[in-house]
Amino acid sequence: MYVNCEDTYDLLNNQITLQELAKTRISNNKDKVSLSNKFINRPKGFILSDTYNHFVFPIQPKPTIDTSKFNLSEVFLRYRELYSKSKSIFLPWHFCCELIGTQYYVFNTRPLDMKFPLISKEALNWKKEYNIEWNKVTKLFFKTKPFDIENAIHICIIGNTDLDIYTKTLYKIIGTTCILPFVRQFKLFGSLFQDVFPLNINDNKFKYEVLIRFMNSQ
C-alpha cells in the first residue's frame, strides 16, 4: 500500500510532539521546496538502504527490527534529533518501507522531485565525522561514482537488513511502487548495479534476485 507525502505528514504529526532537538546538521535550505532543490531534468538512479545501517543517516539504537507496530514516527524523531537543523516535514528518503501489522506499506516521505539533502562529496565527510562503516558495495559506489547521491531516488527500509527477514511482498512493493514508475517515465534502466544500488544492505540476507524479478516486470 502507498501513502503519499501529505498523508504521511498528517499521520506523523498525530503521533509525535515537535520539540527543540539538540543535534543539528542538515541546513534548513536543503528541505525547502525550491527550484534549487529540484532534480535537473530527471533522477539518475535509485539508492536502496535501511534505516539502521544507513550510509550517512543511521537511525540507531532503534528501531533495530521492523516490528508490526508503526515505527516511522520514531525514525522521524530520531532523524530530527541526530541530523536536522529544522523541523522539516520531510525525511531525506523519498520512500520509506515499513511492515505494519501483516502488511508492508510504502510512505512517500520526501517530494519526488526534490533532491537528497547531501551530495556525494559531503557523504564522505559525514562518514568520517560519524564514524560510519561502509560495506564493499558502498565503498565501490563512491569510488566509481556512477551518479551523485543527490540525483537519486532514495528508498529506505525501516529496520536492520542484518537481522530482518523479508517476504516476497517487500521486494514486490519496492520494485513495482518505488522503481518501475520512474523507469517507465524517465527511461531509466532499473538494473541492479547499473542504476540501482543497495548501499550498506546485507547482501547475505537481502534477496537481490527477487527484487530484480519485480524491477523487470514491465
Domain map (residue ranges) of the chain = 2-15+39-215
Weakest mean pLDDT among 27-41, 59-73, 131-145, 165-179: 27-41
| Residue among 148, 138, 111, 155 at smallest CA distance from 203 | 138
For residue 12, the model assigns a pLDDT of 47
Which single residue is written with the C-alpha cell 503521533? 15
Of 8 and 193, which is predicted with more confidence?
193
| Residue among 163, 20, 174, 165 at smallest CA distance from 93 | 174
For residue 53, the model assigns a pLDDT of 96
Q: In the predicted model, what is the mean pLDDT of residues 17-33?
A: 57
- CATH annotation of 2-15+39-215: 3.40.80
CA distance 139 to 124: 10
φ, ψ for residue 211 (rounded to 5)?
Answer: -60, -40
Tens of pLDDT along 120-161? 999 998 998 889 999 999 999 999 999 999 999 999 999 999
Flag whether pLDDT at 96 surpasses 90: yes
| Residue among 214, 162, 217, 206 at smallest CA distance from 48 | 206
CA distance 117 to 120: 10
Question: What mean pLDDT is reported for the chain?
Answer: 86
- Position 29 confidence tier, pLDDT thresholds 50, 70, 90: confident
For residue 16, the model assigns a pLDDT of 34
Flag whether pLDDT at 194 surpasses 50: yes
Flag whether pLDDT at 11 surpasses 50: no
Q: In the predicted model, what is the mean pLDDT of residues 36-57?
A: 94
Flag whether pLDDT at 10 surpasses 70: no
Would the CA dihedral through 108, 110, 115, 116 be positive or negative?
negative
For residue 218, the model assigns a pLDDT of 57
- Position 215 confidence tier, pLDDT thresholds 50, 70, 90: confident
CA distance 89 to 7: 11
